[in-house]
Structure 1
Amino acid sequence: MKKYVTYVNSCAIIIKKLYDMTVLEWVNGMVEGDVRREKLLDILKNSSGPVSGSSLSRQLGVSRQVIVQDIALLRAGNAEIFATPKGYILYTQGPAKKYRRSFMVNHTKEQIVDELSLIVDNGGKVLNVIVAHDVYGQIQADLILENKEDVMEFYERMGSSKAGPLLQISNGMHIHTVEASSERILDNIERDLKARGYLVIQ
């Protein structure tokens, strides 16, 4: 009986140690994740341009899947991180106030450059493109196009890819979120989109 009690006590001690180790590993994992995400934010803050997922993976010593998960968690915490074709960007507005407006437009693939150029030439920044899908609902892709050079680079990259523009899955209908330094600029963009026949009047 004494041996049995000793055996049970030993098992209890082992189980407690294993439990403590598991909890400690979980806590350490949480802390390491928080520290890593802070480093990730610092990298994006100090970068002069987009940072690719593979670059973040190398710098932080984790897989690209972990980077994707970290980005999702940071976004859930209201960090405004854009995933552009060139990489991730931490978006900051700076001291000057910015204004945003969403424009619903409809046009063909051949008119993409004209539509985007119209927006940036007026002083707008195209933040994203959004389309509605029958199965998946709203699909959004970050763009961050500030000038004609950005527009042409985006169009050339799209042309060299097997994937077509998102507007193809919504019969040309899509939404752009546009940012500008004044409401007047957004008004001018709306006016010109309407004049070109791109703007969908709701």
Structure 2
Amino acid sequence: MDGQTRRIEMIKMLQEATKPMSGAKLGNAFGISRQVVVQDIALLRAEGYDLLATARGYILNQEAGNMVRRVILVKHTAEQMEDELNTVVDNGGRVRNVIVSHGVYGDLTGDLMLKTRRDVKAFAEKVGHNEAALLSVLTAGVHMHTIEAPTEEELDIIEEELRQKGYLA
């Protein structure tokens, strides 16, 4: 199978997937290395596919056209992370990513794609099990999230809830 055919089949797999697909799983499906998967993902993004690399695997964001986005600036402790993320998803939003503005490296972004409490819990457990530091430790808790929702009004509600909880910076 040539590379173009493989990438078409990869998109089909991601469209049909009900959960994120790891690079290893995609590589095994096509008999290629994870490095080739990463290259294929980069080529597919260049073709205009909205592919996200999350901590749980690759996702084809098929809902992006139906959502509105807003970047919000927040600040909280590591212990408050789950509550902050749950506040977004409980109000109909999706946390697309986390962004920190680093003085040396510029903007550092981590794709999250959290849309349910189950997603938030799985992310928090992964952080705990890996003893991973949150990106926000680089900026004393200050960071940004791109949040998505079906309407601007829902984004306003999410932002107000975050404000009331003291999470907006």
TM bucket (normalised to shorter chain) is over 0.9
Query: Which position in structure 2 is the counterpart of 1:109?
Result: 78
Query: Aligned runs of 1:48-127 on 2, under 5 Å?
Result: 48-93=18-63, 97-127=66-96
Q: TM-score, normalization: structure 1? A: 0.79
In structure 1, the gaps of 5 or more residues are 1-30
Gaps of 5+ in 2: none
In the alignment, is residue 160 of structure 1 matched against residue 147 of structure 2? no
Greater Rg by CA: 1
Name the SS for the 1:185 alignment partner: helix
- In the TM superposition, what whole-angstrom CA distance separates every residue of 1:134-180 from its partner, at most 9, and x where no partner exists? 22211111111111121111111101113211111111111111111
Q: 1:1-202 residue pairs with structure 2 within 5 A?
A: 32-93=2-63, 97-200=66-169
Render the CA deviation track for 1:63-108: whole Å, top value 9, x for unaligned: 11010111112112221111111111101018x8321111111111
One-letter amino acid matched to 2:15: K
Q: Which is helix-richer, 1 or 2?
A: 1
Q: Which amino acid aligns with 1:74?
A: L
The 3-state SS of whatever aligns with 1:198 is: coil
Aligned residue pair count: 169
- The one-letter code matched in structure 1 to 2:156 is D
Aligned partners of 2:34 and 2:117: how far apart in 1?
A: 31
Q: For 1:79, what is the secondary structure of its paired residue?
A: coil
CA distance in 2, matches of 1:135, 1:37: 35
Runs of 4+ with >6 A deviation: none
Distance in 2 separating the partners of 1:162 and 1:69: 29
